[in-house]
């Protein structure tokens, strides 16, 4: 029987953690861009984009991320589209993140007083111009802490992709456990690595919240 | 032809009809004060003129263009009439200068340098040339309202709508704003203003409109209205606001 040192375990987990980081980044950036699009539709004046965005958000907030991963992975294969696990994982996480970020940001947009919309409309600006120059710059300030806070959820959400066979930190943990028969050591290290990834984000979120709520916020 | 032609305008919020058929023509260069109790529909009327509220009946024509809820038309209309609000509504993330520059740059596609010159001229006009780089929360209420006026003027509107623009100000700041409005009136700007400043209305306005329960109850030159009110409602209203 081969002996595995703790360093062997940690080294392999660290290698797998790169995929967790990459998947989190893809989910967060892709979800951020898609979320911005959903947000603009969700707050649009026309009912059609508004309804579409609402449906999208309800669908992804109202079903477990796990089901979304299964559907992205298996359902698309059923209709003949071959989905490699990384693509299914990336796709599902991007859409899931987009739905949550759009809703978080909508709250921030709606926190901007109505007078800002009215003043910019009175100056002849159209909806996208109002958003771009007046509303979003102000909404951004209040959106930063909850957005950074949500990124913690994204990192932890990537763990679920192990179910469809994407080898990230959790999946690597399972595989290493099967080889070493040391579940406690392995999963403790897995948990520790997640903590190392998430904790700085939580701290940053709290720091930004204090910083951006300071009385004199500009300059 | 009047600059602003309001014909049989009706507006309801749910079951509550706030405008019950308003007819009012405002000529170019005219200064028109709208007075009345709160809830009489005067602010709503003003907001209908630049399309912040949609009307349920009648028509509003500004310089020959219909006020509709169609986006493109609405934007064209808003280039003709500026609006100034009770709560100033300056953009808090931009300096006074940038507040004035924003719309000329975004809507009229004016280059930065030109917009900056324009903003400086407009801020000078309201006596705030030296506050170009100040943020709104570094300005007094009166100064903020004057920046809001400069911001509206930068779009070179044909008419300005003023919605209780001194009501949120401390008493000692009211006069600096009224002085600016008085100058605009003297320069021939068309003004429709909802106001509680009876003395100012009397001195500056060509015509005073008294609104009561969603209708124009009395209308005429200020001297006539203030010294010889014909209806008991106006008499009572003037009695209650006399200082």
Domain shared by B57 and B169, yes or no: yes
Q: Is residue B85 part of a domain?
A: no
Percent of chain A at pLDDT > 90 equals 65
Cβ contacts of A124 on chain B, cutoff 8 Å: 75, 78-79, 103, 107, 155
Q: What is the number of CB-based contacts under 8 A between chain A and chain B? A: 62
Cβ contacts of A121 on chain B, cutoff 8 Å: 52, 78
User: Residue B87 and residue A138: Cβ atoms within 8 Å?
Assistant: no
Q: For residue B170, what are the domain limits?
A: 1-80+160-243
Q: Is residue B18 part of a domain?
A: yes
Instruction: Determine the pLDDT at residue A1.
Output: 59
Cβ contacts of B73 on chain A, cutoff 8 Å: none
Q: What is the arithmetic mean of pLDDT over A184-199?
A: 93
Instruction: Determine the pLDDT at residue A135.
Output: 95
Q: What is the arithmetic mean of pLDDT over A36-55?
A: 92
Q: CA A93, A96, A102 angle in degrees (round to 5)?
A: 130
- The mean of the pLDDT values for chain B is 92
Closest residue by Cα to residue A21 from A211, A212, A210, A201: A201
Residue A126, classified by CB atoms within 10 Å of its CB into exposed (0-12), middle (13-18) or buried (19+), is middle
Domain boundaries defined on chain A:
6-212
Instruction: Determine the pLDDT at residue A82.
Output: 83
User: Residue A122 and residue B102: Cβ atoms within 8 Å?
Assistant: no
In the three-class reduction of DSSP (H, G, I as helix; E, B as strand; rest coil), residue B210 is classed as: strand
User: Residue A118 and residue B148: Cβ atoms within 8 Å?
Assistant: no
Instruction: Determine the pLDDT at residue A219.
Output: 47
In the three-class reduction of DSSP (H, G, I as helix; E, B as strand; rest coil), residue B120 is classed as: helix
Q: What is the ipTM of this complex?
A: 0.92
pLDDT band (50, 70, 90) for residue B242 = low
For residue A127, give the chain B residue with the closest CA.
B71
pLDDT band (50, 70, 90) for residue A46 = confident
CB B94 within 8 A of CB B115: no
Q: CA B71, B3, B79 angle in degrees (round to 5)?
A: 35
Domain shared by B240 and B191, yes or no: yes
pLDDT tens digits along B31-71:
999 999 988 999 999 999 988 998 999 999 998 888 887 88
pLDDT band (50, 70, 90) for residue B213 = very high
Q: Chain A within 8 Å of B112 (Cβ-Cβ)?
A: no
Instruction: Determine the pLDDT at residue A210.
Output: 80
User: Residue A121 and residue B152: Cβ atoms within 8 Å?
Assistant: no
Where is the domain boundary, B122, B139, B156?
A: B156
- Report the run of H or E that residue B59 belongs to, with start and end: strand B57-62
Instruction: Determine the pLDDT at residue A47.
Output: 92
Q: What is the arithmetic mean of pLDDT over A1-13?
A: 83
| Distance in Å, alpha carbon of B102 to nearest chain A alpha carbon | 8
For residue A118, give the chain B residue with the closest CA.
B52
Instruction: Determine the pLDDT at residue A214.
Output: 52
Other residues' Cβ atoms within 10 Å of the Cβ of residue B211? 27
Rounded Cα gap, residues B190 and A53, in angstroms: 43
CATH of domain A6-212: 1.10.3720.10
Cβ contacts of B78 on chain A, cutoff 8 Å: 121-124
pLDDT band (50, 70, 90) for residue A32 = very high
Q: What is the arithmetic mean of pLDDT over B204-227?
A: 93
Q: Is residue B86 part of a domain?
A: no
Q: What is the arithmetic mean of pLDDT over A117-142?
A: 93
User: Residue B89 and residue A129: Cβ atoms within 8 Å?
Assistant: no
Residue A196, classified by CB atoms within 10 Å of its CB into exposed (0-12), middle (13-18) or buried (19+), is exposed
Cβ contacts of A129 on chain B, cutoff 8 Å: 106-107
Q: Is the pLDDT of residue A85 over 80?
A: yes
Rounded Cα gap, residues A139 and B239, in angstroms: 46
Closest residue by Cα to residue A66 from A154, A175, A166, A163: A163
Among A5-19, A50-64, B113-127, where is mean pLDDT lowest?
A: A5-19
Q: Is residue B76 part of a domain?
A: yes
Domain shared by B20 and B32, yes or no: yes
Q: What is the arithmetic mean of pLDDT over B17-43?
A: 93
Question: How many separate domains does chain B show?
Answer: 2
CATH of the domain at B170: 3.40.50.300
Domain shared by B76 and B119, yes or no: no
User: Residue A120 and residue B137: Cβ atoms within 8 Å?
Assistant: no
Tell me which of B74, B77, B89, B158 to substitute to probe the interface with A (most A C-beta atoms closer than 10 Å).
Answer: B89
Instruction: Determine the pLDDT at residue A215.
Output: 46
Tokens representing A145 are 């802490």
Q: Chain B within 8 Å of A122 (Cβ-Cβ)?
A: yes
Domain shared by B76 and B175, yes or no: yes
- What does residue B80 show for φ and ψ, rounded to 5 degrees? -95, -35
Q: What is the arithmetic mean of pLDDT over A148-169?
A: 90
Domain shared by B136 and B179, yes or no: no
For residues A157 and A77, the model is more confident at A157
Q: What is the pTM of this model?
A: 0.84
């Amino acid at each position: 029987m081969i002996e595995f040192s703790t360093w062997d375990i940690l080294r392999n987990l660290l290698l797998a953690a790169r995929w967790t980081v990459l998947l989190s980044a893809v989910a967060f950036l892709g979800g951020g861009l898609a979320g911005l699009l959903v947000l603009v539709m969700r707050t649009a004046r026309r009912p059609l984009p508004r309804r579409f965005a609402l449906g999208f958000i309800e669908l992804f907030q109202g079903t477990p991320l796990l089901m979304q991963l299964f559907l992205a992975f298996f359902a698309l294969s059923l209709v003949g589209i071959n989905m490699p696990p990384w693509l299914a994982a990336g796709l599902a996480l991007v859409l899931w993140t987009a739905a949550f970020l759009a809703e978080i940001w909508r709250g921030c947009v709606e926190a901007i007083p109505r007078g800002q919309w009215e003043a910019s409309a009175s100056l002849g600006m159209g909806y996208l111009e109002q958003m771009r120059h007046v509303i979003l710059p102000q909404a951004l300030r209040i959106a930063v802490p909850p957005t950074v806070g949500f990124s913690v959820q994204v990192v932890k959400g990537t763990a679920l992709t192990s179910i469809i066979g994407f080898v990230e930190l959790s999946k690597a943990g399972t595989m290493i456990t099967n080889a070493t028969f040391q579940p406690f050591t392995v999963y403790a290290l897995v948990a520790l690595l997640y903590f190392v990834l998430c904790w700085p984000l939580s701290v940053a979120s709290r720091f930004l919240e204090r910083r951006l709520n300071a009385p004199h916020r500009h300059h | 032809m009047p600059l602003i032609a309001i014909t049989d305008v009706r507006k309801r919020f749910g079951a509550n009809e706030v405008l019950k058929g308003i007819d009012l023509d405002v000529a170019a260069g005219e200064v028109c004060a709208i007075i009345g109790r709160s809830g009489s529909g005067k602010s709503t009327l003003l907001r209908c003129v630049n399309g912040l509220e949609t009307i349920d009946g009648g028509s509003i024509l500004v310089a020959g263009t219909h006020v509709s809820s169609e986006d493109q038309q609405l934007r064209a209309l808003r280039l003709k009439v500026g609006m100034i609000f009770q709560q100033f509504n300056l953009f808090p993330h931009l300096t006074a200068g940038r507040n004035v520059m924003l719309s000329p740059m975004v809507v009229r596609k004016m280059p930065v340098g030109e917009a900056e010159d324009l903003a400086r001229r407009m801020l000078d006009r309201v006596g705030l040339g030296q506050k170009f780089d100040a943020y709104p929360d570094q300005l007094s209420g009166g100064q903020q309202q004057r920046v809001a006026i400069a911001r509206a003027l930068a779009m070179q509107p044909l008419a300005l709508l003023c919605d209780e623009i001194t009501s949120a100000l401390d008493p000692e700041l009211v006069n600096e704003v009224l002085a600016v409005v008085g100058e605009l009136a003297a320069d021939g700007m068309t003004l429709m203003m909802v106001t509680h400043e009876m003395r100012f209305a009397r001195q500056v306005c060509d015509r005073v409109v008294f609104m009561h329960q969603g209708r124009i109850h009395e209308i005429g030159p200020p001297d006539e209205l203030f010294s010889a009110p014909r209806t008991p409602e106006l008499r009572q209203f003037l009695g209650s606001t006399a200082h």
